[in-house]
Chain A
Amino acid sequence: AQTVTQSQPEMSVQEAETVTLSCTYDTSESDYYLFWYKQPPSRQMILVIRQEAYKQQNATENRFSVNFQKAAKSFSLKISDSQLGDAAMYFCAYRDPFTGGFKTIFGAGTRLFVKA
């Protein structure tokens, strides 16, 4: 079965600095999607970035970028120039079209604190 592991329950970063959140996953599939979601205190889950496994190039969205290592099954999120509004829970998630139907599998999350 597919699993997603986030080994950092909490992380802290100084405003304007860079932080990297870790995620590993386990799958026997070769084609799948990986996501990072942000969940602020308002509880609404927001998609931060998405990566298709068949794409070699790492996805980027403004200050957010990923380091996708397919062989190592690693998918880390780098937040550059951290802002106070980045403080939230961050979830790594996995989805594939072959097993498990259409479900998205989430990790346990990493709580990010941003210090002014």
Chain B
Amino acid sequence: ETGVTQSPTHLIKTRGQQVTLRCSSQSGHNTVSWYQQALGQGPQFIFQYYREEENGRGNFPPRFSGLQFPNYSSELNVNALELDDSALYLCASSSGAWDEQFFGPGTRLTVL
């Protein structure tokens, strides 16, 4: 059974650019949640996708958007990058919206 994977591992962008982060959910999971973890802080919920639909959203601006595909993998897109977007981005998959979440290793995004 393959766990949650994320790509890329690290990414460096400049302010104003756009970025796409990818997450492959664990086999059998139909729900993916995305979190932003700034340095020295706990993760903050961005949004959740359940069966290709956004199922809940945290306090993040619309320039944070996502997609979930029929195979339940997911993308997080961030437009007009700001310096404060520098963080570790975690995705977590689960077999249902309320089931145990399994986290990926994260993507470290640095915005210069």
Contact = CB atoms under 8 A, between A and B. Distances in A.
Interface of A: 4, 42-47, 50, 91, 93, 97, 100-109
B48 A50 contact: no
B7 to A, nearest CB: 14
A97 B55 CA distance: 12
A44 B45 contact: no
Contacts of B56: 100-103
Contacts of B102: 47
B65 interface: no
A108 B106 CA distance: 18
Contact of B105 (A42, A100, A101, A106): A42
Contact of B106 (A44, A46, A47): A44
Which of the listed residues A4, A47, A107 has the most CB atoms from chain B within 10 Å of its own CB? A47
Contact of B43 (A46, A50, A91): A91
A109 B44 CA distance: 12
A52 to B, nearest CB: 11
Task: Give chain A's interface secondary structure class.
Answer: loop
Size bracket, chain B contacts: 20 to 34
Which of the listed residues A100, A104, A107, A108 has the most CB atoms from chain B within 10 Å of its own CB? A104
Nearest to B100: A47
Contacts of B101: 47, 104
A107 B44 CA distance: 9
5 contacts: A43-B105, A44-B103, A97-B98, A101-B55, A106-B35
Contacts of B88: 43
B66 interface: no
A101 B58 CA distance: 9
Contact of A101 (B43, B57, B103, B104): B57
Given A43-B90, A102-B33, A108-B41, 5 more contacts: A46-B103, A50-B100, A91-B42, A101-B57, A103-B56
Which of the listed residues B33, B43, B58, B98 has the most CB atoms from chain A within 10 Å of its own CB? B43
A102 B31 CA distance: 11
Given A43-B88, A47-B100, A47-B101, A101 B106 contact: no
